[in-house]
Amino acid sequence: MRYFVLFLSIFVCFAGLHADEAIYDASLDTEVDEELSTINFGAEPAIEVYADWEDEPVWTVKALFLFPVDLPTGAVIDEAVLQLHVLDRSTDPGPLNIFRANGPWTEMSVTWDTRPGENRDIMVSENAPEVIINPELWEIDVTDIVQSWADGFPNNGFYLDVPDNNNWVDVDLATKENPDPGIRPHLWVNYHTGGACEEVASNQVSLDVSGVCPSRVDINYFVPSFSNVSLCIYDASGALVENLEVSSGDHSITWNGNPGVYFIKLQSIGKSISSKAVVLR
């Protein structure tokens, strides 16, 4: 068996700066179906993004996701990742488009005929992963979209649809109604306020996370002496898994847990570092 950790986004802020992360669960998600244009799909445990550009007339299904993003005024988004789980997909779907909904909608009433408008001025096109580990985690960089919401653009959520690529495309995604909480949609946001983040100096707070053994994460950190410090581990839903007992200084500790997605946060006075670790079996 192979175990490895994928590291993303370590941020350190000093002298009045503040770095933090937020993990949001989807508050609304559904699909709108062109063929079944008056039917609502808000209660489904899975939704699809579909198009058959080979046939006429074109029949499409689009997905909608909304997350209750609540960030402080002036937040600068360092990274925002939309986390979806692909339950099934066509053999070679090609890229899918992710962009902003341009109006409000209600999960249990929206249909194709009443769907919100589309705003494609900020759009991401990315291939859905192959379903090798079922369901497959799909992580999409939506930093620019979330930044627009932090800057005041109304947050009406994400649209997902299929561009015209002269192909048949069908991708099934888990929703917040899925009975498995581990595969429900999440939006992970790492941001800072108060100015630009600085690079970690060799004599300042540092955090390094690695995992090379079954069900084990090795954490190395340094905090200057006489500083208060906390080290917390969160799961993919943002729930606190464990608040580790730590002290200032240069330390190496081991945390035992199950394979999965974790967010490790080291804090001391005026300083914060966050690291995302994905431990896969």
Host H or E run for residue 144: helix 143-150
What is the average pLDDT across 240-261?
82
Q: Which of 175, 181, 281, 192 has its CA nearest to residue 238?
A: 181
Share of the chain above pLDDT 90, in %: 35
Q: Is residue 10 within a helix (H) or strand (E), and if so which, with residue range?
A: none
What's the pLDDT at 264?
81
Q: Determine the average pLDDT of the residues in 104-114.
A: 96
Domain that holds residue 215: 4-17+200-280
Which of 152, 175, 193 terminates a domain? The answer is: 193
Calpha distance 170→186 (Å, rounded) = 21
Q: Is the dihedral of CA 24, 261, 233, 75 positive or negative?
A: negative
Six token digits for residue 13? 């802020």
Report d(CA 113, CA 182) in Å as an integer. Answer: 32
Distance of CA 172 to the CA centre of its chain: 17
Instruction: Specify the pLDDT at position 155.
Output: 93
**pLDDT higher than 70, residue 258:** yes
Mean of per-residue pLDDT scores for the chain? 80
β-pair partners for 57: none
What pLDDT is attached to residue 183? 92
**132 plus 261 within the same structural domain:** no
- Are 75 and 109 in the same domain? yes
Residues 207, 129, single domain; the answer is: no
Q: What is the mean pLDDT of the segment spanning 146-160?
A: 90
57 pLDDT above the threshold of 80:
no
Residue 51: helix, strand or coil by DSSP? strand
Question: Which of residues 178, 193, 208 is at a domain's end?
Answer: 193
- How far apart, in whole angstroms, are the C-alpha atoms of residue 14 and residue 53? 52
68 and 178 inside one domain: yes
Model confidence band, residue 1 (pLDDT cutoffs 50, 70, 90):
very low
SS3 9: coil
The domain that holds 12 is classified in CATH as: 2.60.40.1930
Tell me, yes or no, whether 151 and 62 share the same domain: yes
Query: Can you give the pLDDT at residue 55?
Result: 64
Q: Which of 159, 174, 193 is the last residue of a domain?
A: 193
Q: pLDDT tens for residues 160-197?
A: 998 877 777 889 999 999 999 989 999 999 888 764 43
pLDDT in tens, 29-55: 999 999 999 999 999 999 999 887 666
Distance between CA 238 and CA 236 in Å, rounded?
5
pLDDT at 16 over 50: no
153 and 181 inside one domain: yes
Tens of pLDDT, residues 73-98? 778 888 899 999 999 887 666 788 99
Indicate if the pLDDT at residue 199 is higher than 80: no
Phi, psi of 114 (to 5 degrees): -115, 10
Contact 58, 51 (CB under 8 A): yes
> Do 78 and 122 reside in the same domain of the chain?
yes
* SS3 at position 181: helix
Is 241 in a helix, a strand, or coil? strand
Do 128 and 153 lie in one domain? The reply is yes
Q: Are 180 and 85 part of one and the same domain? A: yes
Q: What is the pLDDT of residues 121-139, one digit of tens each?
A: 889 998 888 777 778 899 9
**Distances, alpha carbon 45 to alpha carbons 86, 141, 249, in Å:** 12, 24, 47
Same domain, 49 and 120: yes
pLDDT band for position 233 (cuts 50, 70, 90): confident
Domain count, the chain: 2
Looking at residue 223, its pLDDT comes to: 78
- Domain identity same for 145 and 215: no
172 with 135, same domain?
yes
Q: How confident is the model at residue 7 (pLDDT cuts 50, 70, 90)?
A: very low
